[in-house]
Structures are given as structure tokens and as C-alpha cells.
Chain A
């Protein structure tokens, strides 16, 4: 009963958050966003500069740049700014391929840090809108026309795209693909109530005048996109989402790389929100962001650690009991599962399991909805299965490491 008292409040909050997302998705503003058409009047389209900050991105830089150049957008109103941020690989040499391309600007920024690179890119252009695109991401041809309509609302200072994983080929990448597509529907719903707390590196767009007014990009504990989003929110602007502006990003292929990336994200969240942006948490004036998103962000980290700890203790208890009970009994009886037919009687129908299943079903439903809404191509079956059964096992790794890093002030490299 003691464990239940700890677990049930977290399950209640998880269900509440999912219900909030579902209700918001059905609300009139969300339906209006979904009914929005991509921009078609070329004459009315604003000038956009897509900045690609590069730090040792030689492997993917060409594909990323080509995807931007292939965007369905008037050529005279779109430019690409490639910013080499003190790379030590062949990035500068590869950038030189575009030296003669009139739509591409090449910038070299010696001060390391994504914020320095993006600011250098902004300084090199006079475009009215700024797009940021990580150099390991590729945009769909219609992504910019889908995204730029977000700025029809003058209160909108930034908009986010519909991210998914580029060519998922391993279980780990399929899992991340499902998670990213889940993120599409979450951001779509949260944008409706202005609750977005991060403008991801893969193709977020900014109103340049607002970015300039706020002093450009700043250091944000290796999560500069999140720092900028929080600063926009604090200044009272809106962050929108363009659920059909597809962008594909390369996801970490191995568990150590994934953990490193997520530790950067999670510790960046904790450091930003516990630090400069603490004033946003729990404040009604910041609406869904202050009352729901940021507090639940902390609770998600805390519950992930707590529930994992409880699960490990419970698992250890079960295993040690099973070993003790079976000791001395022949192996063939004790450890080889008997061949038996399905019997509904033994279905584990506890309240805890029921709530867990309900939460999972809603999550899966939202992942499917995210795929349909964004029209993201590819199969989701393996992604959903791996997300359902694997994510809960690996997420505690970066949650624990992030909590450790933030508690003891440990800093880690980007990769």
C-alpha cells in the first residue's frame, strides 16, 4: 500500500497531462491550426534565412544544405547561412563547395558555442525571418511554406517543425522516431495554449525583430534552443507549431550516444528552469507553460527516477524470493515455463496495471495521430513497440545522470 501511495499520484498526473493534451487537441484553436493551409502567395512571402550552425558536421552538411536549397520557396527570398563553428574536421572544406552559390553565405565563427554560431549567422543576413537547422537534419520541400504561416499571427515570435528520425534503421532509432512523432502532437497541442518550452534545433523559425530585441541567442547550458524559447515566453511572445512542416533528423545510433544527448537536454532543462527561468514555474501569468508544462517537466524527471528505483527494489525482491523459493527444486520444473494455454483468469487485472495500460494506450493513440497529422512517411510498428517496452528501461539512465550532474555541478561535452 505504501508503494501505491507513491505511484498513484504520478499515474494520475500522467493521465491528467494526456487528457489535457487530448482536450486541447479537440479545442477550436487546435482545429483551426490543423485547417490552416500552407502559404501559396509568393509575392506575400517574407525573406527567410536558414542558418546551419556546424561543428564537425562534414558527414551530413551537404545533404542538409541541399535539402534547404530544395525548399519550395521563392529563390530570391530564401538564403542559406552555413556557419562553421571552429570545426576540426573537413566541414570548412565542404562548405567551400557553396562559395559560388549566390543563395548560400559562408560564415566562420571562431568562438565555440551554438549561440555564437547562430548569432554570427543572423548578423550575416538581413532576412525578416530566421530559420535554424541542425546540420544533421533535412527538411521536406514544403516545410517552409507550412511553417511560415505561423507568423500570420503577429504575437508569434517562433514556430517549431514536425520532427522525425531520418531513416530509422535500429531498434533504438525506431524508438526515438516514435518519441519524436509523439512530440509532434504534443507541440501541436501545447502551441494552442502557448505551452512550448523548447524550439528544437531541427528547423525552428524565429521572427528576427524579436530575436534582435531580446539580444540574440545566449549561452543556455548546451540547450540554447530551450533558453531562447523560455526567454521568448518570459517576454510574453507566443511560440507556435507547424505540425506538417516535416524535418528529418539523424538520431543517435548507440545507447551511450543517446544517453549523452539526453543528459545534455535534461540537465539543460534543469539548469535553465531552476536558474534564470525559475520565475516562470507555477506562475499563472505564463499560462499552461507555468502551471502545467514546467512543473510536470520536473515531476516527470522525479517520477522517472522514483518509479525506476521502486521497480528495481521490487524486481530484486521478486527475483531473490523466486530464487529462494525454488532452491533445491529440479531446474526443469522450477525454471522452465510450462506449456499452457491462455487462461483469462490469470490476467493481471490490478488497478495499477489498468492505469498503466490506459496511459500507454493514449500515448500510442497520440503517436499514431502525430504521424497522420504530420503525414510523416514510414512504418511506426517497430517504433511503437520499442517505445512502449524499451523507453522506460533506458530513460532512467539519462535521468539519473542528469540529476547527478546538476546536483554536483558536473559539466560534459556536446558529444
Chain B
């Protein structure tokens, strides 16, 4: 066997080993990402359940928990960002991503319900936005709408934005969609219970909010 052929065969083996190592490293990194997401979800799940339980226990004076509910919403937003990034890395068909999205959606619905309960009990007037999008390539304006909502959420921390993948197969989400009569015309928004569809620009979206609601919240910037 010539030196060239021998070296080429060894190099082929080295190349395959290198590629396998890279594949393993990428897989490991993604697994760590999923593990990180799972840990965050577990923590939020515990916090939500705790808040919910406290709310039930302290029916006479539940309003002291309003602050911690706001903290939870911020943690949920961070989790949503991470989940969206992981979805971009792993693919929207990835089984782990789907499972995490389902859990995330459940947490969002739970937080949404707690927020409504607190509002009713404490007489507050939070502005909540249910935002329905699709990653199936059938929503040309969803990226723009998502970014505009991120801007509003970051600018007005007390604004509660809950994002849902309309196509996610989840019983609680289907119930939420049917209760709010959300049609499959995306992007769709339910702002304080009132549904609207489509996105043109930020200014038009802002007009959908109750008059003065954005101005009365505390601006972050």
C-alpha cells in the first residue's frame, strides 16, 4: 500500500472521528439546553403552583401575592425567549421542544388565570395579551407581530403577554382558543378579552389596547 493511500485511509478515519465528535458535542450542548429549559420550567411550575396554593389559602387577603405574580411573568418571558431559541436550534418538530412548549403553554395559561383571579380579587386592571402565532409557514406577519409585542413587553413590564403556538396540540390551549373564540387567522391577539387579527405596524397594534392602558403602566425605558 502506498504512503498516499495509507494516509488517505487514516485521514478518512480521522475525519469521520472528528465529525462524530462534533456531532456528539452539538448533541451534548443541545441536551444541556433542554435540561436547562426543563429546570427553569420545573422552577416556574413550582412557583406557579405555590402562588396558586397561597391564593387559595389566603382567600381573605390574596392581594399580597400580586408582586410575586409579576416576577413570574418576567421569568415566563425569559423562558419563552429561550424556548424560541431552542426551537430554532433543534427544529419545531423536535419531540423535546414540543413537550417543553406544551408545558410552557400550560404555565402561561395558569399564570393568565392567576392574573385574572388577582385582578378580580384586588381590583387591579392588568393589561393582558394572548398572542397566537404559527411556525408552519402560513403566517407571514407573525415574526413582525412577535417582535412588536416583545418591544411592548420590554417597554412596559406590567404588560402581560402570553404567546401561544396556535397549532400546538394541547387540550388546555384548545379550550382557551374556543373560550375566547380565536379564529385561525394569524397573527391573532386577545387584548383584555377582545380578539383582533392581523398585524400591520406597531402604531396600529397599540391602538388595539384599552385607551390609556399603555400610558398608565410603568415604562422601562
What residues make up the interface of A, taking CB atoms closer than 8 Å to B? 12, 15-16, 19-20, 22-24, 27, 29, 192-193, 195, 287-288, 291-292, 321, 324-330, 332-334, 345-351, 354-355, 358
B116 at the interface (CB under 8 A from A): no
B15's contact among A16, A192, A346, A351, by CB below 8 Å, is which? A16
CA distance A324 to B19 in the complex (A): 37
CB distance from A392 to the nearest CB of B (A): 19
Query: What are 27 inter-chain pairs, A to B, with CB distance below 8 A?
Result: A12-B19, A15-B19, A19-B11, A19-B12, A19-B15, A23-B10, A23-B11, A24-B7, A193-B7, A287-B2, A291-B4, A328-B202, A328-B203, A329-B151, A329-B202, A334-B151, A345-B82, A345-B85, A347-B29, A348-B89, A349-B89, A350-B89, A354-B22, A354-B23, A354-B25, A358-B18, A358-B21
Question: Chain B contacts of A332 at CB under 8 A?
Answer: 221
Question: Chain B contacts of A12 at CB under 8 A?
Answer: 15, 19
- Report the 6 A-B pairs with minimum CB-CB distance, sorted nearest first: A20-B11, A354-B22, A19-B11, A349-B29, A19-B14, A328-B201
Question: Chain B contacts of A328 at CB under 8 A?
Answer: 148, 201-203
B56 at the interface (CB under 8 A from A): no
Question: Chain B contacts of A22 at CB under 8 A?
Answer: 11, 14
CB distance from A325 to the nearest CB of B (A): 5
Question: Chain A contacts of B22 at CB under 8 A?
Answer: 351, 354-355, 358
Known contacts A16-B15, A292-B4; is-contact A351 B23 (Cβ 8 Å): yes
B18→A19 contact, CB < 8 A: yes
Residue of B nearest to A347 (CB): B29
B64 at the interface (CB under 8 A from A): no
Residue of A nearest to B205 (CB): A328
CB distance from A330 to the nearest CB of B (A): 7
CA distance A23 to B5 in the complex (A): 11
CB neighbors of A among B13-36 (8 A): 14-15, 18-19, 21-23, 25-26, 29-30, 33, 36
CA distance A346 to B151 in the complex (A): 20
CA distance A297 to B111 in the complex (A): 60
A345→B36 contact, CB < 8 A: yes
Residue of A nearest to B23 (CB): A351
B8→A292 contact, CB < 8 A: yes
B12→A16 contact, CB < 8 A: yes
B147's contact among A29, A195, A325, A351, by CB below 8 Å, is which? A325
A333's contact among B2, B19, B25, B221, by CB below 8 Å, is which? B221
Known contacts A15-B19, A16-B12, A328-B203; is-contact A23 B221 (Cβ 8 Å): no
CA distance A350 to B30 in the complex (A): 9
Question: Chain B contacts of A345 at CB under 8 A?
Answer: 33, 36, 82, 85
CA distance A179 to B171 in the complex (A): 60
Residue of A nearest to B145 (CB): A325
Question: Chain B contacts of A325 at CB under 8 A?
Answer: 143-144, 147
Question: Chain A contacts of B8 at CB under 8 A?
Answer: 20, 291-292
A330→B36 contact, CB < 8 A: no
CB distance from B164 to the nearest CB of A (A): 20
A23→B19 contact, CB < 8 A: no
Question: Chain B contacts of A349 at CB under 8 A?
Answer: 25-26, 29-30, 33, 89
Chain A proximity mask over B82-100: 1 for CB below 8 Å, otherwise 0: 1001000100000000000
Residue of B nearest to A343 (CB): B82
CB distance from A60 to the nearest CB of B (A): 39
B3 at the interface (CB under 8 A from A): yes
- With most chain A CB atoms within 10 A of its CB, the pick from B18, B26, B82, B202 is B18
Question: Chain A contacts of B2 at CB under 8 A?
Answer: 287
A23→B7 contact, CB < 8 A: yes
A27→B11 contact, CB < 8 A: no
A20→B151 contact, CB < 8 A: no
Residue of B nearest to A289 (CB): B4
Question: Chain B contacts of A288 at CB under 8 A?
Answer: 4
Residue of B nearest to A286 (CB): B4
B155 at the interface (CB under 8 A from A): yes
CB neighbors of A among B54-102 (8 A): 82, 85, 89
Known contacts A12-B15, A349-B29, A349-B30; is-contact A20 B23 (Cβ 8 Å): no
B47 at the interface (CB under 8 A from A): no
Question: Chain A contacts of B14 at CB under 8 A?
Answer: 19, 22-23
A355→B19 contact, CB < 8 A: yes
CA distance A351 to B4 in the complex (A): 29
Known contacts A192-B3, A328-B203, A351-B22; is-contact A333 B12 (Cβ 8 Å): no
Question: Chain A contacts of B151 at CB under 8 A?
Answer: 329-330, 333-334
CA distance A5 to B12 in the complex (A): 19
CA distance A326 to B144 in the complex (A): 7
Question: Chain A contacts of B30 at CB under 8 A?
Answer: 349
CA distance A329 to B146 in the complex (A): 12
B165 at the interface (CB under 8 A from A): no
CB neighbors of A among B183-221 (8 A): 201-203, 221
CB distance from A333 to the nearest CB of B (A): 5
A327-B201, A333-B221, A354-B26 given; name 13 further pairs at CB < 8 Å: A16-B11, A19-B18, A23-B10, A23-B14, A24-B7, A29-B3, A195-B4, A326-B147, A332-B221, A349-B29, A349-B33, A350-B89, A354-B23
CB distance from A10 to the nearest CB of B (A): 13
Question: Chain A contacts of B82 at CB under 8 A?
Answer: 345
